[in-house]
């Protein structure tokens, strides 16, 4: 179920937005070149007018089987209460400006502002612009769109929408926005909205409506003490034939008039939207900052993970390098041929023999053997620091005395008789071993 709902909302987001113009005189819908018209209950009592328009709007959405999607709501200036004033010197916070706007609305309209919601916007230069709508109107239209399955993308008055769509130029002028049964006049100068008034027009012939608009312009001009006589008339698309009569009447009174035609960039209307309040805009900015922080955290996490992966890969490469070096560096001597092995051992024996203290051994034996012992040969063992002595003695007692002298000497000790045999001549041939003390 949730997948189907997600698909529906996705199709609604990709579909062109539905522009809904609602007012007491009628309801006009447009989407991608298709148009639908509906009739509101114009005969409703003043207190029931909003409810009648909301009901007609809801019925038109469902009766025409329009696919749900985004809705750009354009409401008639008939309900609008605009306000433009210069802020006092010094910086004011948003709550302070809210309090100031509420004070000005109470000052102009008194208790009539009960149940109304307003939005305001600072301009790049010039005064602050604010507007108010009945809260019941906005809540009813929003509820109807939600029941239909759509999303309210924006909610602006007819005057802002009309001027945004018209090619009105950039010169200082009075701008008249023509709407069926209603008129709005704005003094635009220095790229800012300086004055703003709205007037409902009673059902009357075009001549009577034109006279009412001219009277509104004359009064506004006199109040400002303005000598600007240039007027730009912006047709909203929901008006009748009366703008032509307005042009004729104003031209006769000495005004320079022209009608804005075609879509294009003109005066930039204040960024006022009843879907997004100043607090909502601050919340949106916080949400944007939170999203940026989240993306930054994800990027940093990805970078940390990449660095960790690189470190792990580097450690793995170092291990492989160590194993390769160990494999290429043998732990023992390579095997030798038999002949080469004999030569190597001979060289090792010769090198080892050079470390034997021959001079000390021979001098010691010459002193220790005495006159009765005849040494025939010496066979040293460098690995064990041992020397094997083959000699001849007249009697066994002489052999014993010789071994005692070896053990008591400074060069040799641990003398041991290994074997003894009778020689060809009188005497005993024996073999003894001793260790030279340099080994300790």
pLDDT at 263: 45
Residue 238: name the closest of 190, 178, 295, 317 by CA: 178
Q: 99: which 2 tokens? A: 């309090």
- 0.85 cut: is pTM over it? no
**Segment (H or E) for 90:** none
pLDDT at 132: 92
Beta bridge partners, 422, equal: 428
Vertex 353 angle, CA 351 and 357, to 5°: 125
Using CA atoms, how far apart are residues 194 and 270, in angstroms rounded to an integer? 11
Phi first, then psi, for residue 37 (nearest 5°) are -120, 140
Beta bridge partners, 432, equal: 389, 417
Residue 135: name the closest of 61, 79, 53 by CA: 79
pLDDT at 241: 61
Q: 365: which 2 tokens? A: 């034996």
pLDDT at 384: 77
Using CA atoms, how far apart are residues 137 and 249, in angstroms rounded to an integer? 35
Question: With a cut of 50, which residues of the chain have pLDDT below it?
Answer: 1-3, 263-265, 281, 332, 439-440
Task: Report in angstroms the alpha-carbon separations of 424 from 246, 390, 396, 428, 429.
Answer: 162, 15, 16, 9, 9
pLDDT at 167: 65
Using CA atoms, how far apart are residues 406 and 330, in angstroms rounded to an integer? 46
Task: Report in angstroms the alpha-carbon separations of 369 from 19, 163, 169, 365.
Answer: 131, 135, 135, 6
**Segment (H or E) for 273:** none
* Domain edges within the chain: 2-284, 340-439
Residue 419: name the closest of 429, 404, 427 by CA: 429
pLDDT tens string 107-151: 888 776 788 888 998 887 678 999 998 999 999 999 999 999 898
Q: 422: which 2 tokens? A: 């009778």
pLDDT at 1: 47
What single string gives the DSSP state of each residue in 325-355? HHHHS-SSPPP--HHHHHHHHHHHHHHHHHT
The third-level CATH classification (topology) of the domain covering 340-439 is: Gyrase A; domain 2 (3.30.1360)
**Thinking of the domain 2-284, which architecture would CATH place it in?**
2-Layer Sandwich (3.30)
Q: 12: which 2 tokens? A: 């609604």
Contact in structure between 240 and 275 (CB atoms under 8 Å): no
Using CA atoms, how far apart are residues 66 and 77, in angstroms rounded to an integer? 26
Q: 281: which 2 tokens? A: 């805009």
Beta bridge partners, 128, equal: 85
CA 354 distance to own-chain centroid: 79
pLDDT tens string 294-325: 777 787 777 777 788 888 888 888 888 777 77
3 state DSSP class of 91: coil
User: Would you give the end-to-end CA distance of the chain in angstroms?
Assistant: 94
Using CA atoms, how far apart are residues 176 and 183, in angstroms rounded to an integer? 7
What single string gives the DSSP state of each residue in 9-76? HHHHHHSPPEEEEEETTEEEEEETTEEEEE---TTS-GGGHHHHHHHHHHHHHHHTTPPP-EEEEEE-
pLDDT at 72: 93
């Amino acid at each position: 179920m949730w997948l189907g709902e997600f698909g529906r909302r996705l199709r609604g987001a990709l579909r062109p937005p539905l522009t809904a113009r609602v007012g007491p005189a009628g309801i006009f819908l447009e989407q991608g070149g298709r148009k639908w018209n509906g009739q509101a209950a114009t005969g409703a009592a003043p207190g029931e007018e909003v409810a009648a328009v909301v009901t007609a709007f809801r019925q038109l959405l469902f009766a025409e089987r329009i696919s749900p999607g985004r809705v750009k709501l354009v409401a008639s200036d008939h309900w609008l209460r605009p306000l433009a004033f210069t802020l006092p010197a010094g910086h004011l916070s948003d709550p302070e400006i809210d309090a100031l706007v509420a004070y000005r609305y109470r000052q102009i309209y008194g208790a009539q502002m009960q149940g109304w919601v307003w939005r305001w916007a600072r301009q790049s230069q010039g005064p602050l612009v604010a507007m108010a709508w009945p809260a019941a109107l906005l809540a009813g239209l929003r509820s109807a769109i939600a029941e239909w399955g759509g999303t309210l993308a924006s909610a602006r008055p007819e005057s802002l929408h009309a001027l945004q769509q018209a090619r009105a130029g950039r010169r200082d002028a009075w701008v008249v926005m023509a709407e069926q049964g209603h008129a709005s006049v704005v003094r635009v100068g220095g790229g800012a909205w300086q004055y703003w008034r709205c007037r409902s027009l009673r059902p009357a012939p075009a001549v009577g409506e034109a006279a009412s608009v001219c009277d509104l312009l004359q009064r506004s001009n006199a109040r400002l003490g303005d000598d600007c006589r240039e007027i730009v008339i912006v047709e909203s698309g929901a008006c009748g034939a009366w703008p032509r009569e307005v042009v004729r009447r104003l031209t006769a009174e000495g005004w320079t008039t022209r009608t804005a035609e075609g879509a294009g960039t003109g005066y930039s209307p204040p960024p006022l939207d009843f879907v997004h309040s100043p607090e909502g805009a601050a919340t949106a900015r916080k949400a944007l900052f939170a999203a940026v922080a989240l993306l930054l955290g994800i990027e940093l996490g990805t970078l940390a993970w990449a660095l960790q992966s690189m470190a792990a890969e580097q450690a793995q490469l170092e291990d492989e390098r160590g194993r390769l070096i160990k494999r290429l560096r043998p732990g023992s001597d390579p095997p030798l041929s038999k002949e080469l092995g004999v030569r190597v051992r001979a060289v090792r024996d010769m090198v080892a023999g050079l470390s034997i203290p021959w001079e000390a051994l021979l001098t010691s034996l010459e002193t220790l053997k005495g006159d009765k012992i005849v040494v025939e040969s010496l066979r040293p063992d460098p690995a064990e620091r041992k020397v094997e002595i083959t000699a001849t003695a007249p009697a066994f007692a002489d052999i014993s005395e010789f071994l005692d002298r070896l053990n008591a000497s400074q060069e040799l000790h641990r003398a041991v008789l290994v074997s003894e045999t009778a020689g060809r001549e009188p005497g005993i041939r024996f073999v003894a071993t001793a260790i030279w003390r340099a080994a300790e």
